[in-house]
Amino acid sequence: MMDQQFDDTMNQSDKTMNQSDDTTDEPTNTVVHIDGVTKEYGQLRAVDDVSIPIEDGEFLTILGPSGAGKTTLLHLIAGFEEPTDGEIYIDGQAVSDEPPYERDIGLVFQSHALFPHMTVKQNIAFPLKMRRENVTDIDDQVAEALELVRLPKDYADKPVDDLSGGQQQRVAFARAIVYEPTLLLLDEPLSSLDKKLREEMRSELARIHEETELTIVHVTHNQTEALSMADRIAVIRDGGLEQLDETQNLYSDPKTPFVADFIGNTTLLNGTVSNMNDEIATVSVGSETIKVPSTAVTSDSDVVVAIRAEQIETDASTDNTYESIVKQVSFEGDRTQYHVEIPAFDTTLRVIDQGSDDHVVHSRGDEMSVGWDVGDAFVYDKTRTEPGGFSH
């Protein structure tokens, strides 16, 4: 049932960002400007009128589920695809008609795309040789790149096939940045690595960004990657831009139910405002009610209430408290994750309990009270006509 509610909720949402057609309004330090870009493949609109200014030295992540259009957008920036409409500017110059090799862009792919018949040094030096750099300079630049990605100098003559996955990824980064490009594009570069190595490379990539001050555009479907590395995140859905914001703002102030649900562990509940006073409104959901801030809704309106799993308290007195039945338990040491059923809502909520050491860990089938305070949930009014079709 929740899947259907989610689909119904998402169908209510339009684009959330006002797209600008005037490039002169952008800050002077904008390195890349994606200006009203659309990409169509026959009847499929893979990218739908997206505008994003990217500032010098910024780490921007394009985040979205599979099929959202994020990789297509990256390919448009790189020059592998041409936009159906709109324009892409790099350093103030329109580049949509320029081939990739004329865009001064470094690229790192999920598959690394290294040359298996070459050594580490030969791989890193390849873009320098294509640019006909001086041989002496090439040796120095390769040595600097190896130092930057923290690979020992004696790795230079190793075949890349002799390296681990993490080491190959470092070589790919070194090759992409050795010639100091204007822009570095990362297409799911960490997704093929295991969890521990992914965490290590996230830290390394953040360090490389800090040391080089490169402008980076990173594509991923991984929320943790996006939140841990990016300065700003552009959330993409069905080819359109849902929200463009700094990481903390995106988490603390999601503008649509989709963003609230995609960023973090969230449950969405559909309801109708049944009562209002100056500060608190009551929303009817199933046979129960939820108290929400009255400033976020209008009388008798249909709304979506989004509750993050970590905001739900267990066995505590809150503004909204309900009896539930534990359906699933996942004990993770410093926290316990539950799936609990609230019969009155006819739905299941996800709960993350970060209780103290002596906190009770419930078992499947237990009855447990759960709840949250008025200000701990996001509320979206479907009847309002602000950008995105929602206000909260």
Distance, CA of 58 to CA of 113 (rounded, Å): 25
Q: Based on the structure, what is the number of domains in the chain?
A: 2
Could you give the count of Cα atoms lying within 13 Å of 190 in the half-sphere of its Cβ?
Answer: 23
Residue 283's domain spans which residues? 258-389
Residue 35 tokens, joined? 């200006």
Residue 72 tokens, joined? 């297509």
Same domain for 263 and 250: no
Angle, helices 195-212 vs 165-177, to 10°: value is 20
Same domain for 142 and 57: yes
Q: Which of 222, 254, 286 is the last residue of a domain?
A: 254
Q: Is residue 86 part of a domain?
A: yes
Q: Which amino acid is at 364?
A: R
Distance, CA of 185 to CA of 181 (rounded, Å): 10
Same domain for 267 and 198: no
Same domain for 330 and 232: no
Distance, CA of 289 to CA of 56 (rounded, Å): 48
Q: Is residue 13 part of a domain?
A: no
Residue 301 tokens, joined? 């309106």
Q: Is residue 158 part of a domain?
A: yes
Q: Which of 254, 273, 290 is the last residue of a domain?
A: 254
For residue 326, the domain's CATH number is 2.40.50.140
Q: What is the pLDDT of residue 246?
A: 96
The single-letter DSSP state of residue 215 is: E
User: Which residues, in sequence order, are CB contacts of 91 under 8 Å at separation 6+?
Assistant: 31, 182
User: Which residues, in sequence order, are CB contacts of 389 under 8 Å at separation 6+?
Assistant: 12, 13, 14, 256, 382
Same domain for 231 and 267: no
Distance, CA of 104 to CA of 102 (rounded, Å): 6
> DSSP string of 154-190?
GGTTSBGGGS-HHHHHHHHHHHHHTT--SEEEEESTT
Same domain for 354 and 221: no
Q: What is the pLDDT of residue 15?
A: 41
The pLDDT profile of the chain, 392 residues, written as one tens digit per residue, is 444 444 444 444 444 433 334 433 444 589 999 999 999 999 999 999 999 999 999 999 999 999 999 999 999 999 999 999 999 999 999 999 999 988 989 999 877 788 888 999 999 999 898 888 777 789 899 999 999 999 999 999 999 989 988 889 899 999 999 998 999 999 988 887 778 888 888 888 999 999 999 999 999 999 989 999 999 999 999 999 999 999 999 999 999 999 999 998 899 999 999 998 888 999 999 889 999 988 888 888 999 999 999 999 988 889 999 999 999 999 887 788 999 999 888 889 999 987 655 667 889 999 999 999 998 999 998 876 443 444 44
Q: What is the pLDDT of residue 27?
A: 47
Q: What is the pLDDT of residue 356?
A: 59
Place of tokens 């080819």: 239
Same domain for 238 and 262: no
Q: Which of 204, 219, 254 is the last residue of a domain?
A: 254
Task: Render pLDDT for 35-94 as a digit per residue (tens, 0 to 9).
Answer: 999 999 999 999 999 999 999 999 999 999 999 999 999 999 999 999 999 999 999 999
For residue 139, the domain's CATH number is 3.40.50.300
Q: Is residue 9 part of a domain?
A: no
Residue 370 tokens, joined? 């759960």
Same domain for 136 and 232: yes
Place of tokens 């030096």: 125
- Given a contact cutoff of 8 angstroms between Cβ atoms, the answer to whether 105 and 78 are in contact is yes
Same domain for 153 and 293: no
